[in-house]
Structure 1
Amino acid sequence: MEDEEERFRRKIGPGSHEVRLHSLSSTRRPLKSWTPAAVFASFVVIVLCGSVVSWLDIFVFPGISSRQMITAKGGQGEPPQKMEFPLNCTNSSTVPQTCPKNYPTKHEPEESYAVVCPEYFRWIHEDLRPWKSMGITREMMERTKNIAHFRLVIKNGKAYIEHYKRPFQTRDLGTIWGILQLLRLYPGKVPDLELMFYCNDRPMIMKNHYQGPNAGSPPPLFHYCGNETSLDILFPDWSFWGWHEVNIRTWTNTYQAIKEKAKEMEWKDRIPYAYWKGNPGVSANRQGLMTCNATEEHDWNARLYVQNWAAESREGFKESRLEDQCIHRYKIFVEGKAWSVSDKYILACDSTTLLIEPVYHDFFLRGMLPMEHYWPVRLNNKCRDIKFAVEWGNNHIKEAQAIGERGSRFLGENLKMKYVYDYMLHLLVEYVKLLKFTPEVPVGATEYCAEAMACPVGGLFRANMEDSMVKSPSESLPCALPPPYDPRELQGFMERKRNYTRLLEELGG
């Protein structure tokens, strides 16, 4: 696999890649009697049948309905025939691959309205809030050069990359590919910018380093995840455009495959236990989860399996197809070294997700609610909480099934690729508003385009690129970015999440 990645990088283009590819790693205690179970069941029914949509319309978007349309421009008559710009490869070993010059640099969509973006877009304002009053200077940005994996410059609609070091696998290349597709989807709408991007697991910019009267201003760093103690700016991860090292297709293909496979077995007919399969060696939390597996002495209603990715790679990934893992009523999500891209794959299956209390979050998970989209499990009480959740769900099938279905539907409606690109666009536009310097292409940076990346490579890497390639500018406007949270509103949103967990503590022991 090292040789394969070296070939990909050598063909795709130059850059400083010092770091080699990492190998793929990979007494029974009675429950408390939950006499308030009937009360809890009634409570969950209220949650299931209550005015969730009304709350989103009134509490989350005061004065703005989540179904509201915003008029942007008028237009009459039949729209022109859509023009497509597929991958244009020279297919020659002697002629260097060049970036085509015929793709539109500007485009005005025919549709005259924009829907309001999903609620989680409001976190864009929160992620950028640390720089709202002071702005972002070049000096602030350059302070992350020693930890960033690459610098992205967008100038006149073209993308330039300055590589610093290599991340795990090809995360940087997957992220760059996604940015190129954003430029193709919305030509002329991504402003000139410069930013630093970090591709590994844990957040790097810690809040406590920039607190106090003598603390300096925090440097901006784009990354895939954050937590309550960090200031990393969250961006969609590389796997939305596929993860060829572990045989995962693009998000669109994977979600569709999971949904189609899930239809083959009704929820009530699935195995009545909680399922997880993964690499437990990457974190203490996952190792702790393995203690919840069934033994002759204990049965916590969990069925847990070790995934050996190195062996899977050798054997053709026959036992790791994500769409084949929806045969249990419950699926467990547990973080890895930090957050894990597996959250969306687990939630996509309409099995009820038992989400072990996360320390980290990605850009969309913050918009999901316990008992509406998933069942929360406490990190320090996971075995007992899993057992309680499974027993409760097996005794309240309709209610438990509804939680799983709503979690999957949330992704289908709010995490379609159009919204992933819209999130990227709004984040970059808001970021540029804070810049106090003029973006410049550094000497030695490489221009990237779809042809330069996809044409030289093959295999699943190439297939994922072709599947996710944007062939035409969007005929619909980006969704409309909702306003920032009012501080009291945000406090109420977070309190609502905590209330569900407190209730489970009272009932589950």
Structure 2
Amino acid sequence: MGEIASDGVDAGSSSSPTVVSKKPAYISGIFVKNPGVPIFLSVFLVTLFVTAAIFTRWVDVVIIPPLFHYCGDDGTYDIVFPDWSFWGWPEVNIKPWVQLSKDLEQGNLKKKWTEREPFAYWKGNTHTGKARKDLARCNPDGQHEWNARINHLDWRKGFKDTDLASQCTHRYKIYVEGNSWSVSEKYILACDSMSLVITPHYYDFFSRGLYPTVHYWPINERNKCHSIKYAVDWGNKNTEKAQEIGRAGSEFIKNELQMKYVYDYMLHLLTEYSKLFKYRPFITKNAVEVCSCLDKGMVKEFKEMSKVKGPSEASPCTMHPPYDAAELQSLLERKLNLTRQVETWEASGRV
């Protein structure tokens, strides 16, 4: 569990920012009775940036604390939190992770790596994000063979043919971000295929524990097609090493991303964050408990499938301490050097 837990963030630090308000807060018409309560606004695909000077006209605050979010990047302080797909995504026919991870393991057994298609595979909506639109150009066009098989998925036609466990049929699978990070990363890494990761700009709560040429192969975003072709050519010539990278990525997902550890991460994170509170949360008299019995169809099925039947019999895993500055710098340099090594190989053209 160490690589998931090594987040480099000390949520319990006394120097962490907290909301300090002197008057009731009005946000978008919502009246917040307790002005000391951190406000979490989750906006899908749209982020509203308001300068501190303007914002403090509405809420008298010293500083806004970091928000929980499914992903973060180098320019934000968002606290990464497991995304919804771990509990299933019924709208696109993706099962809860507790079941899907088992299905993917079984799917891997259907075809040996050496018997899989010797190309790089990706399936998804090519209209979400510039990187995906650019990736679509890497399909064979009669003049160029980039060793890629890019399949556009039209969401308007439904998701009957999107069974992820049946898509582990290629030696290489591509991960590319959309408008931001994508939930597909864990599904791609779990396939035993060598994952080709196009330069990511976002991270989720586990991906910073992955290393290029160890768990995946880095793809240069500025020259995707050429970079993908080189990666596939290299893998088809160095099959044992390519299989080793594919297995390492899958083993990371299998061992480090068990639901037990996902819940452990959530427990540790919320426990540390709660130490920052200047108030004691309580359940109001009018609160209504929500349960899966209120849902229907696949939504209810997935909630029942992912429901925890009882408390864990084992104690939560032990969190590693945050990295100090030197350790973090060493980790980042190692990743950068491994990526640069691949870029040097690409530039030479030798596989």
TM-score range, shorter chain: 0.7 to 0.9
Distance 1:411 1:202 in 2: 30
Match of 2:4 in 1: 120
Secondary structure in 2 aligned to 1:200?
coil
Which residues in structure 2 correspond to 1:216-365 (within 5 Å)? Answer: 217-313=63-159, 317=160, 319-365=161-207
Task: Please say if residues 40 and 68 of structure 2, whose CA atoms lie closer than 8 Å, have aligned partners that are also in contact.
Answer: yes
Match of 1:133 in 2: 15
Flag the 1:381–1:489 CA change in 2: closer, same or farther, 3 A: same
Match of 1:200 in 2: 44
Structure 1 unaligned blocks of 5 or more = 1-116, 154-192
TM-score by length of 1: 0.61
Task: Please say if residues 19 and 63 of structure 2, whose CA atoms lie closer than 8 Å, have aligned partners that are also in contact.
Answer: no
Report how many residues are paired.
335
Match of 1:15 in 2: none
One-letter code of the match for 1:484?
Answer: P
Secondary structure in 1 aligned to 2:9?
helix
Match of 1:85 in 2: none
Shift of 1:217: 2.5
Distance 1:436 1:359 in 2: 34
Residue from 459, 482, 489 that aligns with 2:327: 489
Match of 1:408 in 2: 250
Shift of 1:194: 6.4
Flag the 1:485–1:355 CA change in 2: closer, same or farther, 3 A: same
Distance 2:111 2:288 in 1: 48
Distance 1:419 1:197 in 2: 26
Shift of 1:506: 1.1
Distance 1:274 1:147 in 2: 49
Distance 1:266 1:205 in 2: 49
Shift of 1:259: 1.2
TM-score by length of 2: 0.88
Distance 2:7 2:49 in 1: 17
Flag the 1:504–1:353 CA change in 2: closer, same or farther, 3 A: same
Match of 1:469 in 2: 307
Q: Deviations over 1:274-302 (max 9, x none)?
A: 00010011111100001111110011110
Task: Please say if residues 122 and 175 of structure 2, whose CA atoms lie closer than 8 Å, have aligned partners that are also in contact.
Answer: yes
Distance 1:454 1:440 in 2: 23
Structure 2 unaligned blocks of 5 or more = 54-60
Which residues in structure 2 correspond to 1:49-128 (within 5 Å)? Answer: 117-123=1-7, 125=9, 128=11
One-letter code of the match for 2:18?
Answer: I
* Identity fraction in percent: 43
Match of 1:379 in 2: 221
Task: Please say if residues 138 and 437 of structure 1, whose CA atoms lie closer than 8 Å, have aligned partners that are also in contact.
Answer: no
One-letter code of the match for 2:314?
Answer: S
Flag the 1:390–1:209 CA change in 2: closer, same or farther, 3 A: farther
One-letter code of the match for 1:121?
Answer: A
Match of 2:339 in 1: 501
Residue from 366, 371, 386 that aligns with 2:208: 366
Shift of 1:218: 3.5
Distance 1:228 1:460 in 2: 37
One-letter code of the match for 1:307?
Answer: L
Flag the 1:395–1:204 CA change in 2: closer, same or farther, 3 A: farther
Match of 1:433 in 2: 275
The Cα RMSD (Å) is 2.8
Segments of 4+ in structure 1 off by > 6 A? 202-206
Shift of 1:219: 2.8
Q: Deviations over 1:298-343 (max 9, x none)?
A: 1111010100122024xxx1x2110111111000000011000001
Flag the 1:143–1:249 CA change in 2: closer, same or farther, 3 A: farther
Q: Which has the larger radius of gyration?
A: 1
One-letter code of the match for 2:113?
Answer: W
Flag the 1:373–1:234 CA change in 2: closer, same or farther, 3 A: same
Shift of 1:475: 0.3
Task: Please say if residues 204 and 230 of structure 1, whose CA atoms lie closer than 8 Å, have aligned partners that are also in contact.
Answer: no
Distance 1:381 1:132 in 2: 45
One-letter code of the match for 2:300?
Answer: R
Flag the 1:391–1:297 CA change in 2: closer, same or farther, 3 A: same
Distance 2:26 2:100 in 1: 34
Shift of 1:135: 4.2
One-letter code of the match for 1:490?
Answer: L
Match of 2:57 in 1: none
Distance 2:247 2:118 in 1: 16
Distance 2:29 2:315 in 1: 36
Distance 2:193 2:25 in 1: 44
